[in-house]
Amino acid sequence: MVAPSNAEMASAWDGDEGAHWAAHAERYDAAMGAHRPIFNARAAITATDTVLDVGCGNGESARDAARAAKAVLGVDLSAAMVRRARERAATEGLANVTFEQGDAQVYPFRPASFDVVISRAGAMFFGDRAAAFANLARALRPGGRMVLLAWQALHRNDWITVILDSLGADGSPPPGAPGPFALADPDMVTETLVKAGFRNIGFESLDVPVCLGADVDDATAFAAGTGLGRSLLGRLDETGRAQALARLRNTMAAHATADGVHIGSSAWLITARARPVDLVEPRRGSGGDPARRGFVRIPVLYPGEAATPPGVA
């Protein structure tokens, strides 16, 4: 099930874009190599945690969590990436991680069934952020943690702007529009998360490079082959494409090091906790009147060992 507000994103991620990411999983993972250990450290998964990975992609962050956690569920819009994630988990012998194709905005997670929600650059694409984060808050146990990595504003991410400039892109996405930079504004994100049921919201700036390739030719080919690159190059005639690719190669050469082509990025590490809530129901005979104090506390239930994916209704 996909929310109508996410139909366009689903078409892309469950189409050519997702297929490209699945076919080049190792390349996309390598691009985030500098972010990976810092994100995992902030996630701080323990052996008792049941974890939800939102927008799990090819499954690297979910597999990292599974090496420490009790159980992990990864959810993504892309069937191709979910297949790749399952294959890679099986190859590594990780039996405590499950991957499902789905839209986390409307996915039927069991209430209070996860200890931690994580998302490494996968939570910025919701068509309805309020609905999506409210759904994630419900999926977390009271006091459960959420750790997100999301890009800061476009102008702070040279790894994107150099591609845009080299290939002749015009303009920038509207602030807050679904896409890579949708969670760039801390004030907007804080307001959204508070309304969704989170508290203790924090932002930590993470300024580390993105690796686009092993050398200049490798990085140029990779950048040109991404969805963004293909889209921009597709608008040009043969001469224009040749000129754009030459500019792109020169840009990659300017950022080349002995260890590959590394270009600066800025992301937010966003942390939050699900607001503790007393789950109560009226005691028989109270008529539902709180003044009569006819309430009993309902214990929060954690998922047990089951063949079905953790946290799925």
Residues 212-267: pLDDT tens digits?
999 999 999 999 999 889 989 999 999 999 999 999 999 999 999 999 999 999 99
- pLDDT at residue 53 in the model: 98
Strands 267-274 and 140-151: antiparallel
- pLDDT at residue 4 in the model: 76
In a domain, 303, yes or no: no
State the virtual CA torsion across 248, 249, 252, 256 in degrees, nearest 10. Answer: -170
Confidence of residue 298 (pLDDT cuts 50, 70, 90): very low
- DSSP classification of residue 127: S
In a domain, 242, yes or no: no
Question: pLDDT tens digits, residue range 8-19?
Answer: 777 778 888 889
- pLDDT at residue 278 in the model: 47
* pTM, to two decimals: 0.85
How far apart (Å, rounded) are the C-alpha atoms in residues 189 and 135? 15
The answer to whether residue 161 scores a pLDDT higher than 70 is yes
How many domains does the chain fold into?
1
pLDDT, average across residues 51-59: 98
- Tokens found for residue 249: 């190669």
In a domain, 307, yes or no: no
Nearest partner of 109 among 129, 134, 139, judged by Cα: 139
List, in sequence order, the alpha helices (H) in the chain: 7-13, 16-23, 25-31, 36-43, 60-66, 79-91, 129-139, 158-166, 186-196, 216-225, 227-233, 238-254
pLDDT, average across residues 299-311: 41
Radius of gyration of the chain (CA): 21
Confidence of residue 299 (pLDDT cuts 50, 70, 90): very low
Question: pLDDT tens digits, residue range 170-188?
Answer: 766 666 778 899 999 999 9
In a domain, 295, yes or no: no
In a domain, 306, yes or no: no
Question: pLDDT tens digits, residue range 58-99?
Answer: 999 999 999 999 999 999 999 999 999 999 999 999 999 999
In a domain, 131, yes or no: yes
In a domain, 253, yes or no: no
The answer to whether residue 281 scores a pLDDT higher than 60 is no
Q: Which domain CATH number covers 206?
A: 3.40.50.150
Contact 64, 89 (CB under 8 A): no
The answer to whether residue 288 scores a pLDDT higher than 50 is no
The answer to whether residue 196 scores a pLDDT higher than 80 is yes
Q: Which domain holds residue 116?
A: 4-158+171-214+259-280
In a domain, 182, yes or no: yes
Contact 267, 119 (CB under 8 A): no
The answer to whether residue 296 scores a pLDDT higher than 80 is no
